[in-house]
Amino acid sequence: MVMSQQLTPEELQQIKELQTRYNQTIFELGASEGQIIAFMEQIEKLTKAKKGLVSDLKTIEQKESELTASLQEKYGNGSINAETGEITSA
């Protein structure tokens, strides 16, 4: 013969509370993982954009270097006022 026993209301309440906390924690873990994935995708996009900007910067620096050499050849060494175009010899 199988004897049946009953949990006390307090014990049953503890079990239900733990199940609720467990389910809530699992839900929050899933939500956190979703946010991490979204952040990682954003980081990838920003990293690609940064690489493009670094490439643009290198191109600008190269063009600046070429222009500087060309202007020095034409006008000699000196400083250029970018607002007025005035050249001050060194």
**pLDDT score for 6:** 93
> Does 73 map to a domain?
yes
Q: pLDDT 10s digit of each residue in the chain, 90 long? A: 778 899 999 999 999 999 999 999 999 999 999 999 999 999 999 999 999 999 999 999 999 999 999 998 888 888 888 899 888 886
Distance CA 47, CA 39 (A): 12
Beta-carbon count within 10 A of 74 CB: 8
Beta-carbon count within 10 A of 71 CB: 14
**pLDDT score for 75:** 87
CA angle, residues 47, 56, 37, in degrees to nearest 5:
10
> Does 4 map to a domain?
no
> Does 56 map to a domain?
yes
**pLDDT score for 85:** 85
Stated pTM of the model: 0.60
What sign for the dihedral angle of Cα 28, 34, 40, 45?
negative
Residue-range definition of the domain harbouring residue 54: 10-89
* Number of domains the chain is built from: 1
